[in-house]
Structure 1
Amino acid sequence: MHALSFFQNPFFPDHVTYTWFVMALLILGGLLVRGGMELYPGKLQNFMEVVIGGLDSLVTDTMGHEGKNFFPLIATIALFILVSNLLGLVPGFGSPTANLNTNAAMAIVVFILTHIMGVKVHGGKYIKQFMGPVWWLTPLILPIEIVSHLVRPVSLSIRLFGNMEGGHIVIAVLLILAPFLVPVPILILKLLICFIQTLVFTLLAMMYIGGAMGEAH
């Protein structure tokens, strides 16, 4: 991670400091938009309305009408991941999502909420999905179901971490080997990856939560 000197401190890891920095950017941006809202919106308000409207449509299309309840969480995750990913493209800055701990924290929140909603919607019947259709298959189905659900936060975390950290390494190597020939196409590809990985994490989070609520028992 390419840390700025004034972001380095002996008390907190770089990824924690950058996480706070992204949070501050998002909070400041939200306050600026809210404080400057007008009947005839300006460029910033128009941009944010497009972003929020797009996220709202994505949540509704993926999770249905009940997805509205999870819009604050999903929108926060999506905006945080996207800004964090893009921050890593700025010379001298690092991306919080290039650290496994940051991604694991978000994935664990999604994992816990998934099962909380499953129990809340289906009650005790939710547990039965882990035991298979008939009782004598439980010793086989139960370990498989447990492992498959535990793998979800792991895959969410590692996928995002691998793409972000891997992209930084590739760019760093290419800047050394061919500083005037390669950076532009690679940076364009990295920019595309930033958006794709945001979409992938967000979609999977919505599918996991929505699937727990809509599971047939």
Structure 2
Amino acid sequence: MASGLPHPLLLAPLAGMDSITINGEVVNFSHVFYTWIAMAILFSLAFLVRGQIKLVPGKLQNVFEVIIGGLEDFVVSNIGEDGRKIFHVLIALFLFIITMNLLGLVPGFDAPTANVNTNAAMALFTFAYYNWVGLKRWGVGYIKHFCGPFWWLTPLMLPLELISHCARPLSLTLRLFGNIRGEEIVLILFFLLAPIVGTIPIYFLFGLAKCLQAFIWFMLSMIYLKGSLEHAH
């Protein structure tokens, strides 16, 4: 491509295409486009709330205070005061995931989390972050978290713990992907079989399920971070 021209993956969504062929390979990028939409929604809401912060909160500010304040109290009650230091990452993941999940309920839209690539990227970030927090706190001593309670169990526990930790990104990725993609397929089937009667009631159920999946990611990430912050026994 000539220099100065935008990448085709930036132009294609604006042209209404869901995929493009590059060097003979079909590249699907619709999840990237809808991820941008989710980010735009969150940034817009953040600037809107920030510009209207009052001592007596309005409706939108009140909603965010309830969500963020409630989840912060939940984290602190489980991790302790150290939870406040890492809460910004957890709440960012929660709001990002729940926004992407709910996009799938908008007619004509697709949930970015119904694509395994989106989830894999977030899972790898979560994995890298909680290990970085552990290394930052304990230094080289962080390896003790993988060695078991007794030194003589280290040859057995170390490989098992390493495999277990490395499997966490895969578990996070597939759990969210499977649930969201499954809901999208079921929703399409309900719409084809009973466009109004079958779809409207299921919206409420799937809306709750999508919120629950975001909270599960939030809670698992909190548990991983709690483990990395705790003293190794």
TM-score (norm 2): 0.83
Between the aligned partners of 1:59 and 1:7, the Cα distance in structure 2 is: 42
Q: Does the CA-based 8 Å contact 1:7-1:14 persist in structure 2?
A: no
Shift of 1:99: 1.1
Give the equivalent residue in structure 2 for 1:207: 223
Equivalent residues in 2 for 1:97-176, closer than 5 Å? 97-134=113-150, 137-176=153-192
Q: After the TM superposition, which residues 19-98 of structure 1 pair with which residues of structure 2 at under 5 Å, given as runs? A: 19-98=35-114
User: In structure 1, what residue type is equivalent to 2:122?
Assistant: M
Percentage identity across paired residues of the two chains? 46
Tell me, yes or no, if the aligned pair for 1:86 and 1:95 is still in contact at 8 Å.
yes
Of the structure 1 ranges 202-211 and 63-72, higher mean CA displacement relative to structure 2 is found in 63-72
Decide whether the 8 Å contact of 1:98 with 1:165 is kept in 2: yes
SS of the residue corresponding to residue 62 of structure 1 reads: helix
Task: Please give the alpha-carbon distance, in whole angstroms, between the structure 1 residues aligned to 2:154 and 2:216.
Answer: 32
Superposed CA deviations along residues 5-35 of structure 1, whole A, max 9, x for unmatched, are 7664659711111111111110111101111
In structure 1, how many angstroms separate the alpha carbons of the residues matched to 2:79 and 2:152? 34
Q: Give, in angstroms, the shift of residue 39 of structure 1.
A: 2.9
Q: Is the 8 A contact 2:145 2:228 kept in 1?
A: no
CA positional deviation for 1:105: 1.3
Residues in 1 aligned to 2:149 and 2:198: alpha-carbon distance in whole angstroms: 55
Tell me the number of residue pairs that the alignment of Structure 1 and Structure 2 aligns: 214
CA contact (8 A) 1:130 1:146 kept: yes
Amino acid at match of 1:186: I
Taking only aligned residues, the RMSD between alpha carbons, in angstroms, comes to 2.1
Q: Distance in 2 between matches of 1:189 and 1:177?
A: 18
Read off the aligned partner of 1:160 and give its amino acid letter.
Answer: L
The structure-2 alpha-carbon separation of the partners of 1:53 and 1:67, relative to structure 1 and needing over 3 Å to count, comes to same
Shifted more, 59-68 versus 116-125: the winner is: 116-125
Task: In structure 2, list runs of 5 or more residues that go unmatched.
Answer: 1-12, 21-26
How far residue 214 of structure 1 moved from its aligned partner, in angstroms, is: 0.5
Return the alpha-carbon distance in structure 1 between the equivalents of residues 182 and 135 of structure 2.
37
8 Å Cα contact 2:144/2:232 also seen in 1: no
Separation (CA, whole Å) in 2 of partners of 1:52 and 1:83 = 15
Residues in 2 aligned to 1:166 and 1:12: alpha-carbon distance in whole angstroms:
19
Alpha-carbon spacing, 1:142–1:188, altered in 2? closer, same or farther (3 Å): same
Distance 1:199 1:77 in 2: 10
Task: Report the TM-score when normalising by structure 1.
Answer: 0.89
**DSSP-derived class of the 1:110 partner:** helix
2:31 corresponds to 1:15: yes
Q: Which has the higher helix share?
A: 1
Q: Could you say if the C-alpha distance between residues 33 and 135 of structure 1 is closer, same or farther in structure 2, counting changes exceeding 3 Å?
A: closer
How far apart are 1:136 and its partner, in Å? 5.0
Aligned-partner Cα distance in 2 for 1:180–1:19: 28
Q: With a CA cutoff of 8 Å and minimum separation of 6, indicate the structure with the bigger relative contact order.
A: 1
